[in-house]
Structure 1
Amino acid sequence: MNRFAQGSYAAAVLLLALAGCKREDAPQAPVAATPEAPAAPVEQGAAPADLRDVIENTPSYVIGISYPPAAAKYPGLAQELTQYAEHAKAELLKAVGELGNDKPTAPYELSLAFDMLADTSKVVAVSADGSSYTGGAHGQPLVARFVWLPERQKLLRAEDLIDGDKGWKAISDYAEDKLLEQATVRAQGEDLSPEEQQAQVRNLAKMIDEGTAPDAANFAQFQPVMDASGRISALRFVFAPYQVGPYSDGTQTVDVPAAALLPYVAADYRELFAQP
């Protein structure tokens, strides 16, 4: 992404943050919800969290962070979101501090938008997407997913979800095949000879193989795909730029259906998934 595009992205997030001041008057975009079971109320014994959008603009740096108001119902989740944002902000300010009396050729930028993906009585999901620019050709991508279980008041983490190495091997094989298919389709859409297309896919194959190795850390970012009854019909694994392809390929995803996951899902979490 060039600096013009980077700046435009930051501006867009800042505009979203400014708009957050008027969210109470504006209709909210719908998110997945369980028709029979409404979203869980505020966590027992806890007051709603104070999720305030952040806008800071100085000659040296620009920061724009926006939160979904609905996440404030879940103080534990809200804490996870703010901790992630504060860490990203601290890293940016550390880089600014290291400039000393020097001035950057362009302001350092942190653009981060959290969005509600699902809000049901059993599963709540939030995405975090943005970038942190501290010099160079483009910013460092920020990609994270948070899956909150209101009834248990805890995050659902990849290492807890899948039971054993066999499960990660199955997910790894599935994701690698789908990403190679996607890479082939992209190559076919470019103005390349068949030989050049094959060479491009071969070059990507190594990155895909390494980025989808059967390790929970490679699949730490995921979001649920919810069905009409509020069950998880698939998990969408999210791969940040550089993990399974070059920066220009952007964030990539693979949906693994519940039927393929269930044999390997830990017993404590199977009831969250749609049954075959």
Structure 2
Amino acid sequence: MRTACLALLAASALAACKRESAPGAPPAQAPAASSPAADAPAAPVALKDVIETTDRYVVGISFPASANRYPGLAKALSDYAAAERAELMQAVEAFGNDKPSAPYELSLAFEQVVDTPQIVAIAADGSRYTGGAHGQPLIARFVWLPQQDARLTSAALVPDAKGWQAISDYVREQLHTAVVTRADEDELPAADRAALIKSTFRMIDEGTKPEAGNFSEFVPVLDTAGRISALRFVFPPYQVGPYADGTQTVDVPAAILLPHIAPEYAGLFAR
């Protein structure tokens, strides 16, 4: 739905530009950008907690007040929360005048986990319930660079395939080891142990293919000097294991990351 709306807006803007640049167009149809009002920046987003309860749905969203210091970050958090709420409301509206047997629910908490002059990180955790045995986990991480006034993404941080291969290899090794350790601790019969390891390894290998998109959720782990000593990659349920395994994380040390970090971000890392 969001993609369609964006496409429609882009098409409308393009059509407007064509009308404005058409030969013989009267002066009154000058580009809107010449208007002072059009040049004015968008109003900052003010993040406010949301609590809403009806007999059809329940919404609870909480934000850290500190995020309002950074308008770009505040907008990113607001946009994410709005998109998840839109998904919930679409499911609610599908009932028409009826209502679900149990209220649908969106629960989403944003928490600041890093706050330095160089790096700010916000963790978003929650779930969206629209029927079934359990809700859909919602996991997102936002890393903001105040001095650049920009969000740091995994694709920008590690720009080449060789880097993602090194990260993928390290993460897979850690996750594989954890699976074998759990299987041994549970003292499963040999056949059950082998089946569990095989199926989970398959999920791990699929969910950690060496692509930036598979490592999009991360937060920096800082040393006492405020430098990044590791990146903690976060994997929601189903990406690298069954739902019962929950959210999983792997810390990748700076020593492994640094050879592959884009030069403009290398100064953020401990050496």
Report the TM-score range of the alignment, normalised by the length of the smaller protein.
0.7 to 0.9
SS at match of 1:234: strand
Question: Does 2:183 align with 1:197?
Answer: no
CA contact (8 A) 1:125 1:148 kept: yes
Which structure's relative contact order is higher, taking Cα pairs within 8 Å and 6+ residues apart?
Answer: 1
Deviation at 1:223, TM superposition (A): 0.5
After TM superposition, list the pairs within 5 Å mapping 1:196-215 onto structure 2: 196-215=192-211
Question: Does 2:266 align with 1:249?
Answer: no
SS at match of 2:125: strand
TM-score for both structures, normalised by structure 2? 0.82
CA distance in 1, matches of 2:146, 2:101: 45
Question: Does 2:244 align with 1:260?
Answer: no
Which of 43, 65, 68 is the equivalent residue of 2:64? 68
In our comparison, the structure showing a higher alpha carbon Rg is 2
Q: Which residue of 2 aligns with 1:183?
A: 179
Count of residues in correspondence between the two structures: 231
CA distance in 2, matches of 1:116, 1:72: 12
After TM superposition, list the pairs within 5 Å mapping 1:25-64 onto structure 2: 50-64=46-60
| AA matched with 1:242 | Y
Deviation at 1:51, TM superposition (A): 1.5
Cα shift readout 1:2-38 (whole Å, capped 9, x = no counterpart): xxxxxxxxxxxxxxxxxxxxxxxxxxxxxxxxxxxxx
CA contact (8 A) 1:233 1:274 kept: yes
Q: Which residue of 2 aligns with 1:77?
A: 73
Deviation at 1:70, TM superposition (A): 1.3
Which ranges of structure 1 fall in alignment gaps of 5 or more residues?
A: 1-44
Deviation at 1:48, TM superposition (A): 7.6
CA distance in 2, matches of 1:55, 1:188: 44
CA distance in 2, matches of 1:47, 1:95: 30
SS at match of 2:214: helix
SS at match of 1:103: coil
After TM superposition, list the pairs within 5 Å mapping 1:206-225 onto structure 2: 206-225=202-221
Question: Does 2:166 align with 1:170?
Answer: yes
Deviation at 1:75, TM superposition (A): 1.1
CA contact (8 A) 1:47 1:75 kept: no
CA distance in 2, matches of 1:79, 1:241: 27
Residues 156 and 259 (structure 1), Cα distance of their counterparts in 2 relative to 1, 3 Å cut: same
CA contact (8 A) 2:167 2:210 kept: yes
| AA matched with 1:212 | T
CA distance in 2, matches of 1:163, 1:104: 46
CA distance in 1, matches of 2:222, 2:42: 27
Deviation at 1:151, TM superposition (A): 0.2
CA contact (8 A) 1:207 1:245 kept: yes
Question: Does 2:133 align with 1:137?
Answer: yes
Question: Does 2:116 align with 1:102?
Answer: no
CA distance in 1, matches of 2:159, 2:105: 40
TM-score for both structures, normalised by structure 1? 0.81
Q: Which residue of 2 aligns with 1:158?
A: 154
Deviation at 1:188, TM superposition (A): 2.2
* Root-mean-square deviation (Å): 1.6
CA distance in 1, matches of 2:68, 2:249: 27
**What percent identity do the matched residue pairs reach?**
58
Superposition misfits of 4+ residues, deviation over 3 angstroms: 45-49
Deviation at 1:194, TM superposition (A): 4.0
| AA matched with 1:74 | Y
CA contact (8 A) 2:45 2:78 kept: no
Deviation at 1:183, TM superposition (A): 1.2
CA contact (8 A) 1:111 1:130 kept: yes
